[in-house]
Structure 1
Amino acid sequence: MDKVMSWFTDSLAPGMQRVFGNPWVSAVASAMQKILPFILVGSVVSIYNVFVRYIPSLPDLSFVNTFSFGMMSLIVAFMVPYFGMTELDHPKYEVTAGLTSVTVFLMALCPTVASLAKNAESGLTEYLVTDINYLGGSGLFVAIVMALLVMLIFHLYSKLHVLEGSDAVPDFVIEWINNIIPMTFIYLLVGAAVFVLSVDIVGIIDVIFQPLNAIGQSLPGFLIINFLYVLLYSVGVSAWSLNAIVKPILVAGISANAAAVAAGGAPLYIVTTETIFTTALIAMGGLGGTLPLNVLMFRCKSKKLRTMGKICIGPSIFNINEPLVYGAPIVFNPLLMIPMWINSIVGPLIVWFAMSFGMLNIPAGVNNVSRIPAPICTWLTTDDWRAFIWFAVLFVVYLLIWLPFVKKYDAQLVEQEAKREAEQTAAEASPATV
């Protein structure tokens, strides 16, 4: 076990930090973090819509969701190059690259122009039309690819040092030219592909990412995603680093579910943020199902575990387990890491089969408000009274998985505390020396 822990400490954790610290990956991860407020706005409306089903007289607020969560790809198209320019040390291009990315993203969607009658005096008015679904979760992969392309071109151009500061030319003129050149190249490149060569950029990107999305939406992909989240977390690497890769899959899933329900169909995709986090079935008390651990700590004989149990129970109820993970600790503690890893496999397996066989509703609307205590958030996310039953079942399962490991760890701590107390007592009883 010492060799395994040494490998985690010396090889895995530093290696993962380097991978996720890459400026290109980091830019996407940062963008995914910054869209959280827009997701939360949509989440509030989704929770509100649960009550609308029971009280039909309440007003329809779905337009709020459409123009917050529903604009996610548009926002990501701006955010990725914005953060990318910072990561690549080109701060003067942050806003320009972001806005360029937004416009070429819209260009890549290959919008059509429709003519509508405005009035007899002005005649026909032309409107730019595109599928609004691609501005939300459906277009997330397209937005990221176009954003990375913009990042690359601005980065390469900045390395050329085409125009530098000069006494003969005002700085603002140089800045204009240094923005215009890469922008023009990007517009010509994407525009020629879309409007001259009739390249279906959206179709190509969908084909490229379809295998990744298909794997992510499968049972093995579901288990891998959940295990990686917990594995990274337990070795001190931020689990949110995975968002650059995983978040687009999760968002695409819930977007497709929402669209299916709006069209009168049924949700199909289980692998969503809502299933993993917001239902608090897999992340019960937080990643790794730590709420039952917190409850067990109240019955421990170790002073440390009992004290930490009392301190952490408040956050745990609201599905926040950082105090517990770092305070117990679970991080780099084999006796608590192992059951946390087991929970990250067993919990998702149970949830997958419960939803696959119709024993629990698949989440059908965006809801990232996971800080509501479970099982209330479980019911709100699934809109299913059976959520209370599955919460109880999983609580017991996690409890039984934690129990033998907690007993062993508790016994070790009791022995250590007794040894320290004996040493302290001996030190106090020994005669003072001059």
Structure 2
Amino acid sequence: MGKFTNFLEHKVSNPMARLAEQRHLLAIRDGVISSLPFIIVGSFFLIIAFPPLPESWMITQWATEHAAEILIPYRMTMFIMSLYVAFGIGYNLAQSYKIDPLSGGQIAVASLLLTITPSVVEELGFVIPMQYLGGSGLFVTIIVSILSVEIFRFCKQREITIKLPEAVPASVSRSFEALIPVAIVILLMTLITVVMGVNLHALVERMAAPLVTAGDSLFGILVPVFLITFFWSFGIHGVSVVGSVARPLWEVYLLNNGEAVASGADTLPHIAPEPLYQWFIWIGGSGATLGLVIVMLLFARSKYLKNLGRTVVAPSIFNINEPVIFGLPIVLNPILIIPFVITPLVTATIAYFATSWGLVSPTFVKAPWTLPAPVGAYLATGGDWRSIILVFVNIAISIGIYLPFFKVYDRKMLDMENGESTPID
């Protein structure tokens, strides 16, 4: 066991930990996360515009008549989330390079806007199409935001900037330092979009089409679920590693589903936005550990696990499971790693088929992740009561999977407390 642990630590854990700290992945992750308040608040206006209430109710009729006005906050937040993400990526990447983060965020936003060609509309003048400022433009947003900050960094390192005397206020000096990088980015993006007539969004959409299709399949759901629990098993924050790559795709799904609801579509295009994982797969946190906590509360015989179960139940209800992962521990625990990996794969399969068969509505609202799962699932599906049943079904299944493994581990812990066994190596 010691050799296996050393192998995991040196050959798997350390390289994956370094990957999780890669500056561009961190900037993408933090940039997307910085937009979450706008996505969460904006998505709730979809519920207000289309309340999960009988059509005969007066409030439903009022919402239907005023849907266009109610959805304006949604259009200005979640619907143009790429604009917020661009600033977040640019800001965080520039900050990691220790160059002016405000300029980095602004350059990234300008770069994104220059990928879109304005149109002239009578009585309105120049109009920017909003479709590429939402989830469908997220891939291009990531590319041009990183590119623009790298140009900024290159100019800064090579001192291709305008330097002002020290007596000039710092804010003015920083603005002039960004002047040449901004000019290069604007000229480059103008050359691509205007002179060459390249629609980067359409080009990237065609290139990413297989990825979008694959990510919405059962296989595309099971792969990130497996990888996240696999990394967590070695003490690596799995969501940080996998989410940096997968979250842009999940946000595209979420926005497309939200727009389908806003346009009055009968069916939603995607099964696998991030709320599917949050509310139906990772119930209680990565590994679906709420079921494990319930098993601890009901079946633990060792004093340590009894006390731990009482301690972690409240955080687990609100999807905070680091105390479980590191307190049991699950990390590098040869007994509990098995159900920790298997359980979410099973709940993911059930959630996928329940959604694809129409037993539960697809998710389209980004509810706060700290809500209890039944509440979050109900909100994320726009008020589908069947989602609550699916949550409890998956909790029951997770209990059944964890129980036999937990009993084995509990016996070992009880023997250790009675002095009849040695710690698990």
TM-score by length of 1: 0.87
- Which of 71, 88, 105 is the aligned partner of 1:62? 71
Counterpart residue number, 1:200: 199
Task: Give a deviation string over 1:111-159, Cα, whole Å, max 9, x none.
Answer: 213231xxxxxxxx62x32332322212111111110110121121122
Counterpart residue number, 1:267: 268
Gap runs ≥5 in structure 2 = none
Counterpart residue number, 1:122: none
Cα offset for 1:175?
4.4
Kindly tell me: are residues 284 and 203 of structure 1, through their superposed partners in 2, closer, same or farther at Cα, counting changes over 3 Å?
same
CA contact (8 A) 2:162 2:176 kept: no
- Does residue 396 of structure 2 align to residue 396 of structure 1? yes
Partner Cα distance (2:37, 2:130) in 1: 20
Kindly tell me: are residues 259 and 332 of structure 1, through their superposed partners in 2, closer, same or farther at Cα, counting changes over 3 Å?
same
Give the letter aligned to residue 42 of structure 1. Answer: G
Counterpart residue number, 2:113: 106
Give the letter aligned to residue 402 of structure 2. Answer: W
> What does 1:303-322 align with in structure 2 at a 5 Å threshold?
303-322=303-322
Task: Give a deviation string over 1:50-87, Cα, whole Å, max 9, x none.
Answer: 64644414675332222222231001111111111111
> What does 1:263-302 align with in structure 2 at a 5 Å threshold?
263-265=263-265, 266-277=267-278, 280-298=279-297, 299-302=299-302
Counterpart residue number, 2:230: 231
Partner Cα distance (1:350, 1:140) in 2: 29
- Which of 71, 83, 97 is the aligned partner of 2:80? 71
Partner Cα distance (2:397, 2:330) in 1: 19
Partner Cα distance (1:2, 1:264) in 2: 58
Give the letter aligned to residue 7 of structure 1. Answer: F
CA contact (8 A) 2:280 2:351 kept: yes
Give the letter aligned to residue 10 of structure 1. Answer: H
Cα offset for 1:6?
2.9
Counterpart residue number, 1:345: 345
CA contact (8 A) 1:302 1:413 kept: yes
Gap runs ≥5 in structure 1 = 117-124, 422-434
Cα offset for 1:378?
2.2
Partner Cα distance (1:166, 1:63) in 2: 44
Cα offset for 1:274?
1.2
Counterpart residue number, 1:8: 8
Partner Cα distance (2:144, 2:163) in 1: 30
Partner Cα distance (1:131, 1:296) in 2: 53
Partner Cα distance (1:166, 1:45) in 2: 48
Cα offset for 1:170?
5.7
> What does 1:3-82 align with in structure 2 at a 5 Å threshold?
3-48=3-48, 51=51, 53-54=53-54, 55-56=59-60, 57=62, 61-82=70-91
Q: Secondary structure at the match of 2:419?
A: helix
Counterpart residue number, 1:142: 140
Q: Secondary structure at the match of 2:337?
A: helix
Cα offset for 1:219?
1.6
Q: CA RMSD in A?
A: 2.5
Give the letter aligned to residue 161 of structure 1. Answer: E
Give the letter aligned to residue 256 of structure 1. Answer: N
Partner Cα distance (1:416, 1:49) in 2: 58
Counterpart residue number, 1:427: none
> What does 1:179-258 align with in structure 2 at a 5 Å threshold?
179-238=178-237, 239-258=239-258
Partner Cα distance (1:84, 1:138) in 2: 22
Partner Cα distance (2:377, 2:310) in 1: 24
Partner Cα distance (1:215, 1:270) in 2: 11
Identity %: 30
Partner Cα distance (1:109, 1:73) in 2: 12
CA contact (8 A) 1:286 1:316 kept: yes
Q: Secondary structure at the match of 1:113?
A: strand
CA contact (8 A) 1:194 1:200 kept: yes
Partner Cα distance (1:295, 1:168) in 2: 63
Q: Secondary structure at the match of 1:285?
A: coil
Partner Cα distance (2:395, 2:169) in 1: 63
Give the letter aligned to residue 329 of structure 2. Answer: P
Counterpart residue number, 2:157: 159
Counterpart residue number, 1:432: none
Task: Give a deviation string over 1:216-245, Cα, whole Å, max 9, x none.
Answer: 222211101111222222322222233321
Give the letter aligned to residue 107 of structure 2. Answer: T
Larger Rg: 1
Partner Cα distance (1:98, 1:370) in 2: 26
Q: Secondary structure at the match of 1:108?
A: coil
TM-score by length of 2: 0.89
Which segment drifts farther, 165-174 or 409-418?
165-174
Cα offset for 1:166?
7.6
CA contact (8 A) 1:28 1:80 kept: yes
Give the letter aligned to residue 196 of structure 1. Answer: V
CA contact (8 A) 2:163 2:176 kept: no
